[in-house]
Structure 1
Amino acid sequence: MNPGKFNSSIFYLFILLLFFSCHKKEKSYIETISLNDVQLSKARPGDWRYAHDEKIQTFEDFQKLKKIKPEPGKNTIYLQPVGEFNTLQKKEIELTREYLSKYFQLEVKILPVLPNSVFPKSARRISKYGQEQILAGYVLDSLLIKRKPEDALVLMGITEKDLFPKPEWNYVFGMASYETGTGVTSLYRFSDGNLSASNFNESLERLIKISSHEIGHMFGISHCLNANCVMNGTNTLPETDFHFARACSLCQLKLNASLRYDHQKRLTDLKQFFEKQHLNSELSRAQQDFNLFK
């Protein structure tokens, strides 16, 4: 064998390997953060998944849906408080506005508070435990739909009253409509009807989870069966607490397909919010995602 030809072959092989290594396809943001998705545990009696036979919504299923998307002149999320709110509750709503603006990367505004008198007698009941409850469907279909601002992408009601979805149900944390882009969340159960400085962060974390979950539904995302995720269905507060505020990689893929935000800016914004509010578990999860880009 000619040594010159052999050395030349080695050289060209080296150049070829170097070319392919330099042009190796980089992983996308979604592929990268999927490494931090946490598998769902087996559903237990009382869990949402145990009682509901839901099918996973693939990205292809999501893409086929007719759904709400931002458009010029219609790209703002509005929050509509209804009720009598104390100082801590008002602070909680303002922080939720701030969080949702970072989570969805859209402008979020709070409308003037409406009084509880907007709920007619036909939309109220007293539960077997003695608290007044409001029919969630009435809030969506009769109250909010008529008050949705012209530039509103979605309108989320926030009430301090407990909610129920239909006569045979005890309560619901929130409800949303894909078609009308309206939803409602109740503060009532997040602090057992008594928000204080000691339970403020616990209540806030529950509120940001349920609010982002319900607005996620308005954007066409079904209950998540892919991983532990803010879009998991939930029956109880312990189940809500167990689920992350983090959207899994599949749900982030769906969300970004409609909203087209910058992934890393969103992640940085969320990390800063969790750090500022001392929501340490969610900060740790955001930091884990962030570390993948160092």
Structure 2
Amino acid sequence: MSPGKYSLTFFYLLPLLLFFSCQKKERSYIETIALNDVRLPKEKPGDWRYSRGEKFQTFEDFKKLNKIKPEPGKNTIYLQPVGEFSKLQEKEIELTRQYLSRYFQLNTKILPALSNDIFPKTARRIFKEGQEQILAGYVLDSILIRQKPKDAVVFMGITEKDLFPRPEWNYVFGQASYADGVGVTSMYRFSNGQLTEANFKQSLERLIKISSHEIGHMFGLSHCLNANCVMNGTNSLTETDFHFARACSLCQQKLNSSLHYNPQKRLLNLKQFFEKQHFNSELSRTDQDLNLLK
């Protein structure tokens, strides 16, 4: 091949090389961690998904929602304990505050506890198992909405009493008014009504899952049908324990579009929490996401 012919061939190839080099695009954070998403198993009787028929919320669906989001002067998550708490329960609430601040990358504060005396008789009942239950809607409408701090983007109540949503329901782990940015979570069932050193770790893991799940709803996330995720719906503690504390890639994409956090900083913050609390499964999942970013 003559030098002239070679040069001409290269001249024709150059645009193609440039074209293909431009086509090679670096994967985004969301596309990268999607490799670690774990597919949900087929639902079975008793599962949340079995009889709900919920619609898959795409990212486009999420973007169209009129939802709350942090803004200047209104960007703090507040936790409002309601009840009489032991030292161990107070420790669990403080660790939940630490977790939520890392998970949402927002300043998170605990307010002084309110007494159970705030609940009138009309908002209480004695359940068949003998424990007193509090009407979740009363906590939302008559306490939290009325007392929400001006700089709060989210106001989450935490009670040691069991909750029920309406007379025909046995109980509920948590409930939220998404438009108002208020929610409540009960610690009661996470430790079978009695928090001890022996069940503390399991109870804490349940509380951080349900709390971040309810706050996720307040930020506009529907129940996740994409992968095993903290935003999956749950009917029981067995189902709660099966779900990851990790938000799947799609749910993180939705959250980050509103909260605008640094994903790698968030993962490192969560890793520190999981290491300290010896949540080894969640630590492993966080490490897997971090390893993909290297």
Q: Is TM (by shorter chain) over 0.5?
A: yes
Partner residue in 1 for 2:96: 96
Equivalent-residue separation in structure 2 for 1:43 and 1:136 (angstroms): 28
Equivalent-residue separation in structure 2 for 1:77 and 1:151 (angstroms): 9
Partner residue in 1 for 2:269: 269
Cα distance, 1:28–1:147 mapped onto 2, change above 3 Å: same
Partner residue in 2 for 1:211: 211
Equivalent-residue separation in structure 2 for 1:25 and 1:168 (angstroms): 54
Equivalent-residue separation in structure 2 for 1:21 and 1:86 (angstroms): 62
**Percentage of identical aligned residues:** 77
Equivalent-residue separation in structure 1 for 2:21 and 2:127 (angstroms): 65
Partner residue in 1 for 2:288: 288
Please state whether the residue corresponding to 1:49 is helix, strand or coil: coil
Please state whether the residue corresponding to 2:95 is helix, strand or coil: helix
* Letter of the structure 2 residue corresponding to residue 85 of structure 1: F
Partner residue in 2 for 1:149: 149
Equivalent-residue separation in structure 2 for 1:155 and 1:77 (angstroms): 6
Equivalent-residue separation in structure 2 for 1:123 and 1:176 (angstroms): 17
Please state whether the residue corresponding to 1:101 is helix, strand or coil: helix
Residue 50 of structure 1 deviates from its aligned partner by 1.0
Equivalent-residue separation in structure 1 for 2:53 and 2:168 (angstroms): 19
The TM-score with structure 1 as length reference comes to 0.96
* Letter of the structure 2 residue corresponding to residue 251 of structure 1: C
Partner residue in 1 for 2:42: 42
Alpha-carbon RMSD across the aligned residues, in angstroms, is: 1.6
Please state whether the residue corresponding to 1:154 is helix, strand or coil: strand
Partner residue in 1 for 2:199: 199
Partner residue in 2 for 1:242: 242
Equivalent-residue separation in structure 1 for 2:20 and 2:45 (angstroms): 52
Partner residue in 2 for 1:131: 131
1:118-166 CA distance string (max 9 Å, x none): 1111010111111100011111111111110010101000000000111
* Letter of the structure 1 residue corresponding to residue 228 of structure 2: N
Could you list the runs of 5+ residues in structure 1 that have no partner in the other structure?
none
Equivalent-residue separation in structure 1 for 2:79 and 2:185 (angstroms): 10
* Letter of the structure 1 residue corresponding to residue 207 of structure 2: L
The TM-score with structure 2 as length reference comes to 0.96
Partner residue in 2 for 1:110: 110
**Structure 1 position 80 matched with structure 2 position 96:** no
Equivalent-residue separation in structure 2 for 1:57 and 1:136 (angstroms): 26
Partner residue in 2 for 1:163: 163
* Letter of the structure 2 residue corresponding to residue 92 of structure 1: E
Equivalent-residue separation in structure 2 for 1:12 and 1:194 (angstroms): 76
1:50-70 CA distance string (max 9 Å, x none): 131111111111111111011
Residue 17 of structure 1 deviates from its aligned partner by 3.4
Residue 22 of structure 1 deviates from its aligned partner by 7.2
Please state whether the residue corresponding to 2:231 is helix, strand or coil: coil
Equivalent-residue separation in structure 2 for 1:276 and 1:18 (angstroms): 49
Residue 45 of structure 1 deviates from its aligned partner by 1.1
